[in-house]
Structure 1
């Protein structure tokens, strides 16, 4: 039996087996960074995200999916790593913030897919291997191991200490909440912001100062995204 390299198992999950779920999870990971005032301030300061949220989010997603597909150590991967490193040399972006962004972009797609269809142990191990390679390529200290559960626990501790409401975070959330329209069936697209809010957990709702949606909307959002592939 041929054993896939770790990267291939993660790439197969994200690009082929559950691409829509992975995209929603990646978008949620992107959104999660807005709850950290320091990150929100840097993103808002560029002006590009608020003025063109769809283009910015699409570019971020395309970059991460290309990196997952090609691998960190490939020629395209090295070019993307160099671009990521340049983007994160902006003033105010400390190494710990970069580690958190990396964790969001790895853990959130896997966890969203796991909740809405399942992820195998091999795919989780592959995701962990991918983020470890990317952290090393970016010169960052390794995230906790030996698996994604350890990183998720580290994220919760980081978020408890660093999540806080901020005008920048709220503005960024309002700018990008409509992006979930592309993941919804046509008739539901106009309700994208409400469906997006239904996907937020309590820490994010507190940071963005949005109320918890009614149970029927939460149930409908869960059903819609569970049916996605």
Structure 2
């Protein structure tokens, strides 16, 4: 690890790379899926065809980039290479700083949400502060302007913490989540191609329903996804709780 990772966001790196790496990967995937609910992002992702044709490759590339930045540090040679690559990839018409802020918020907030909901323990305040430090450092490395906040963000405390990022993210989703053909196509490809590959063969046909069990109602509405049947939801909940209990012992 570099001095950057050993510093302000060391606790975050330890959490996602060592303490709960599997939960972090699932949470990051859910963060990626969450961006499909924003029409402008869904159109960009679907336009190239790679995300719908090779969802596993695209998701893997995103995960590798994020975990490299967290593990190696933004100030490492590899970290700088990844940042430069992200700048080039996103330097195109239609990708605004606001959209970039939303994507970064999803990638920071969603893994922590999944850990809190399904991990063997909750995220600590020190880990949240470290996650925010990483979030701000990456935003700065990408040359983004000061992250936006809403007046409602300040109700929970400082504008300079992870709660403010999550508050802005919720407000942004309220204003922008909407169904699109691109979003539905991205969800179909991801829920079938990506998750099915990670399930035992007999469960692969259930992949879309299993994946939908991990979505909240606003995102299901944006992706036009029906709430899965109660037995599927119960199965997913049981499996995640059982896994958390095993990890806690």
Matched, 1:171 2:185: yes
Matched, 1:102 2:104: yes
In structure 1, what is the equivalent of residue 153 of structure 2? none
Over 3 Å counting, the alpha-carbon distance change for 1:85 and 1:67 in structure 2 is: same
Matched, 1:139 2:143: yes
In structure 1, what is the equivalent of residue 220 of structure 2? 205
In structure 2, what is the equivalent of residue 119 of structure 1? 123
Q: Calculate the TM-score normalised by the size of structure 2.
A: 0.85
In structure 2, what is the equivalent of residue 223 of structure 1? 238
The correspondence for 1:161, drawn from 171, 175, 195, is 175
Matched, 1:149 2:148: no
Once the two structures are overlaid, the 10-residue window that deviates more, 31-40 or 180-189, is 180-189
Runs of 4+ in 1 over 4 A off after TM superposition: 182-187
Helix, strand or coil: the match of 2:9?
A: helix
Q: Deviations over 1:22-56 (max 9, x none)?
A: 11100000000010010000111111111111111
In structure 1, what is the equivalent of residue 152 of structure 2? none
Helix, strand or coil: the match of 2:144?
A: coil
User: Post-superposition shift, 1:139?
Assistant: 1.1
Over 3 Å counting, the alpha-carbon distance change for 1:113 and 1:185 in structure 2 is: farther
CA contact (8 A) 1:29 1:109 kept: yes
Q: For this pair of structures, how many residues does the alignment match? A: 226
Q: Calculate the TM-score normalised by the size of structure 1.
A: 0.92
- Could you say what the CA RMSD is over the residues aligned between the two structures, in angstroms? 1.7
User: Post-superposition shift, 1:225?
Assistant: 3.1
Once the two structures are overlaid, the 10-residue window that deviates more, 161-170 or 86-95, is 86-95
Q: What is the alpha-carbon distance in structure 1 between the residues aligned to residue 110 and residue 198 of structure 2? A: 16
Matched, 1:180 2:195: yes
Larger Rg: 2
